[in-house]
Amino acid sequence: MADADMLRSLALSLEGASEAPHFDRAAFKVRRIFATLAADGLTANFKFAPDEQQFKCEMLPHAFSPVQNAWGRQGWTTAVLSELEEADLRDALETAWRHALPGRRRT
C-alpha cells in the first residue's frame, strides 16, 4: 500500500525532480509540475495524457479517477494512495514525470 512518504521518496528520486508548495498541496516538478500531493497525504494528482488517464482509470478504477473539472479533461488524474501498490505508484510518477521533462511538448 502506497502512502505520502512513499510518493515523496519516489518522486524525488526521479532525475531533476524537486518539491515546492503549490497552494495547499506539495508539487513535484522538473520543468513543470507532474504530480501534486494533497495536504492530508491521502491523495495525489498526476498529469497524464488523456489516453494514459483512460487506461489507468480502466485498469485500477478503485484507485484512479479524472479530476472533476477542465483539468481532468487535460489528463490530470487523482489517485487514492492507499489503493496503490508501490509498482503502480512508481509507474504513475514515471509516466507523469516524462511529460514534464525539458524539451517535451505539452499534451
Query: What pLDDT, on a 0 to 100 scale, did the predictor assign at position 105?
Result: 58
Full DSSP string of 41-64: SSEEEEE--HHHHHHHHHH-TTTE
Edge-to-edge strands of the sheet including 76-80?
18-22, 25-29, 33-37, 43-47, 76-80, 64-66
The overall longest dimension of the chain from CA atoms, in Å, is: 34
Asked if 60 and 52 touch (Cβ cutoff 8 Å), the reply is: no
Confirm or reject CATH 3.90.1150.30 for domain 4-96, answering yes or no.
yes
pTM of the model: 0.93
pLDDT band for 106, please (50, 70, 90 cuts): low
pLDDT tens digits, 61-105 = 999 999 999 999 999 999 999 999 999 999 999 999 999 998 865
Return the domain boundaries, the chain.
4-96
What's the CA gap between 49 and 66, in Å, rounded? 11
Rounded to whole angstroms, the Cα distance separating 20 from 69 reads 23
